[in-house]
Amino acid sequence: MRLTALLLFEDGGYVATNPETGTTSQGDTIESALANLVAATALYLEEFPA
């Protein structure tokens, strides 16, 4: 499954959002923000399957 990730640079860190599920995460680097978003989205999809 492919999902969208939107990245914003805010206050010295990155905010990553998945618009399809509404999950959001953050990290100090792009890589950590995306990894955190993947984890958050996986947990969301476990609870609310697509």
pLDDT digits (tens, 9 = 90+) for 3-27: 999 999 999 999 999 999 999 999 9
The answer for residues whose C-beta is within 8 angstroms of residue 34's C-beta and 6 or more apart is: 5, 7, 16, 27
The answer for residues whose C-beta is within 8 angstroms of residue 17's C-beta and 6 or more apart is: 5, 6, 8, 23, 24, 37
Model confidence band, residue 50 (pLDDT cutoffs 50, 70, 90): low
This prediction's pTM? 0.91
The domain segmentation of the chain, as residue ranges, is 6-47
**Which tokens in the block code for residue 46?**
């476990």
Bigger pLDDT: 2 or 24?
Answer: 24
